[in-house]
Structure 1
């Protein structure tokens, strides 16, 4: 899949969450209404059988949602932390990229709720994640 990497967004992810650099997360778009990132399939991120590990997919979703929440912070607030996350896995990723797209559902003073969808290279829905981030 050919995609334009957002260097500024990728730097934001890697500086604020060094774990995303270790995973190899690349940012495709970032803004208050939509954050999109992707992660290449690699055997080191898989379970037996070559399936991308669910925890890897959850880390991609959590990181993408965290940036989305950060970009929707109320004025004067400095950050968020995940307090709840629910993931439905619908299919496996066995090659290519897992691409996460996060959108805010609610941006309040105390909590921000973000919905993230992860798709494979064929555009099929792999996972759906709803997450609540506490504002601090």
Structure 2
């Protein structure tokens, strides 16, 4: 496990999630107001017809939103966990990268709500996710 006690970097936060690291998620930007990461299309992450599997896209969104929620924790709190996630898939991704951008919609004492958009390399919307994280 990565030590994040001295102010974690984006790479350190993502590294605390072995599943996401195993998927090959790359950190692009990591600030409280915006977290961006991406996942490369790979054949072993696809479903029928060469489309990136929805579960892979949801994992990308969940991890990116979790880091965004973590960066917006109230003082003295140590973490969050997902309690609700709603995904709308609007198109398939069959090549390139899926880039997730997460922004906080609400940063309260008990819950943090994060919105994530996933776009392809051309900037076209692939999925939209709204997620609620409970503050631990």
Q: Which runs of 5+ in 2 are unaligned?
A: 1-8
Unpaired stretches in structure 1, ≥5 consecutive residues: 1-7
TM-score normalised to structure 2 length: 0.92
Query: Residue 9 of structure 1 corresponds to which residue in structure 2?
Result: 10
1:75 deviation in Å?
0.1
Residue 120 of structure 1: how far off its partner (Å): 0.2
Aligned length: 128
- CA deviation profile, 1:67-86 (whole Å, cap 9, x unmatched): 00000000000000000000
Partner of 2:21: 21
User: In structure 2, the residue corresponding to 1:49 is in which secondary structure?
Assistant: helix
- Scaled by the length of structure 1, the TM-score of the pair is 0.92
Partner of 1:121: 121
Alignment of 1:54-93 (within 5 A): 54-93=54-93
**Match in the other structure for 1:39:** 39
**How far apart are residue 20 of structure 1 and its match?**
1.1
> 1:130 Cα deviation (Å)?
0.2
> What is the DSSP-based 3-state SS (H/G/I as helix, E as strand, rest coil) of the residue aligned with 2:49?
coil
- 1:65 CA displacement: 0.1
Report the counterpart of residue 108 of structure 1 in structure 2: 108
Secondary structure at 2:76's aligned position in 1? coil
